[in-house]
Amino acid sequence: DAKTTQPPSMDCAEGRAANLPCNHSTISGNEYVYWYRQIHSQGPQYIIHGLKNNETNEMASLIITEDRKSSTLILPHATLRDTAVYYCIVRAIYNQGGKLIFGQGTELSVKP
Amino acid sequence: DGGITQSPKYLFRKEGQNVTLSCEQNLNHDAMYWYRQDPGQGLRLIYYSQIVNDFQKGDIAEGYSVSREKKESFPLTVTSAQKNPTAFYLCASSIGREEKLFFGSGTQLSVL
């Protein structure tokens, strides 16, 4: 599975859009990009995933560059409850190994 | 409500003692996983199971053991061979090869 690189921390003002970047320059053609977030002392929560097209759901939008080497998670109107660690993960959809490898993630602080 | 239940929320281990962490899911998911998280770190995979009566080692399986006798249950035993067991343990499940993981709320294990 390809490795990912994320900034260790970011700040965002409440009500503004939070844009969280992720680099995955070694991504393969059959690997998806997944985003999870973890609020302190809780289990991670799935946010969104995509292959090459941009995706949107009720929580966020995922923008993947045309070369698929990087992506951005967008929280359109960040609230204080969005303060969490955000993990970007890439892996093959039919990975026989069953592994999902989490890196260090980005700690997002949403401030009033 | 469907979900994953981990118990207990807090657990203390004495020197030389084995302890077992419970993980139960009623989502009818095929695959189940155990992760370990140390303070300020990402998640590391301990064991995973794709089907009943089968499981594979993850990246840090030494000092741990699991069983998968029922689809709903995937208990993790932290043995006395695990010299640094203090960590936050997370159980997760997914539908077969579907990569959207659902996590439990975690168990904090500490050594007395």
Residue of B nearest to A32 (CA): B99
Choose among A36, A43, A104: nearest Cβ to B104. A43
Determine the 3-state secondary structure of B72 from DSSP: coil
Task: Give A94's contacts in chain B (Cβ within 8 Å).
Answer: 97
Residue of B nearest to A9 (CA): B40
- Residue bearing the bigger pLDDT, A100 or A56: A56
Report the C-alpha gap between B30 and A39 in whole angstroms.
Answer: 26
Which of A64-68, B40-44, B104-108 bottoms out in mean pLDDT, i.e. has the lowest?
Answer: B40-44
Cis peptide upstream of residue A7 (ω within 30 degrees of 0): no
| DSSP codes, B78-102 | E-TT-S---EEEEEEEESTT----E
Report the C-alpha gap between A79 and A109 in whole angstroms.
Answer: 10
- B95 contacts chain A (CB < 8 A): no
Percentage of residues in chain A with pLDDT exceeding 70? 92
Residue A2, pLDDT > 80, answer no
Q: How confident is the model at residue A99 (pLDDT cuts 50, 70, 90)?
A: low
Task: Give A105's contacts in chain B (Cβ within 8 Å).
Answer: 42
Q: Do B101 and A101 touch (CB under 8 A)?
A: no
Q: What is the mean pLDDT of residues A60-74?
A: 96
Residue of A nearest to B46 (CA): A99
Edge to edge, the sheet with strand B76-78 lists B4-7, B19-25, B76-78, B64-66
Question: Residue A26, Cβ neighbours under 10 Å: how many?
Answer: 12
Determine the 3-state secondary structure of A81 from DSSP: helix
Q: Do B101 and A46 touch (CB under 8 A)?
A: yes
User: Position of tokens 């080497």?
Assistant: A69
Q: Phi and psi (nearest 5°) for B30?
A: -80, -45
Report the C-alpha gap between A57 and A15 in whole angstroms.
Answer: 18
Q: Do B97 and A95 touch (CB under 8 A)?
A: yes
Spatial CA neighbour of A19 closest among A56, A73, A63? A73
Q: Do B99 and A102 touch (CB under 8 A)?
A: no
pLDDT digits (tens, 9 = 90+) for B66-99: 999 999 999 999 999 998 999 999 999 988 655 6
